[in-house]
Amino acid sequence: MAAVIGQGSVVIDATVGNGHDTVFLAKRVGAEGKVFGFDIQEEALAKTRLLLDQEELRERVRLIRANHTDMADHLSHETRGEVRAIMFNLGYLPGGDKSLITKPGDTIDALKAAYSLLRPGGIITIVCYRGHPGGCQEYIAVGDWASSLYTKESIVECAEIPQNQKSKSAPLLFIIEKTKE
């Protein structure tokens, strides 16, 4: 992410949660850039607002309470196709209601929408968690969708995220680069 996002970039945080990724993105895009942040929970957006205020980064971020499947509706026509990076950190809100999770059907629809918004050279990152109910099915759905992109137009990589404790269900990171329109 850090390698592709520059000053003035337009980027999307598809799952704002507690706001840590949103803050990272807001720092990277600089004062001229823009972050669009989506979450279905007001609690997540409120926590993120607080964090952004503390860091004096609110101006660069538009927080939107919506399903990320609808992300394209919130971007201007000029911005569509110009997004440099889109981050998905799936699962539930840490410290929040664990029954409110990302679901495979919506996640795949949102990934398709995200892919269409990317500019050439832009990337999508997806972190999948497999430890909670439904997490494994979601990871399989994401993997299937990512595999369908193994064409000349994109590069797909997948890696386990190392954890301190040994675990059979380490989170997985997918990185998708759109190389051409």
Q: Could you list the residues that contact ligand SAM (CB under 6 A)?
A: 15, 17-21, 38-41, 44, 67-68, 89, 91, 93, 100, 102, 106
* Cβ 121 to ligand SAM shortest distance, Å: 23
Of 45 and 146, which has the nearer Cβ to ligand SAM? Answer: 45
Of 41 and 79, which has the nearer Cβ to ligand SAM? Answer: 41
Q: What is d(CA 10, CA 96) in angstroms, rounded to the nearest whole number?
A: 28
* Cβ 5 to ligand SAM shortest distance, Å: 15
Q: What is d(CA 181, CA 173) in angstroms, rounded to the nearest whole number?
A: 24
* Cβ 152 to ligand SAM shortest distance, Å: 30
Region at 176 (left for phi over 0; alpha for psi -120 to 50; beta for the rest): beta
The residue sitting closest to ligand SAM, measured at its beta carbon, is 17
Q: What is d(CA 37, CA 49) in angstroms, rounded to the nearest whole number?
A: 11
* Cβ 6 to ligand SAM shortest distance, Å: 21
Query: What is the Cα 39 distance to its own chain's centre?
Result: 10
Of 118 and 127, which has the nearer Cβ to ligand SAM? Answer: 127
Residue 45 host element (H or E): helix 42-54
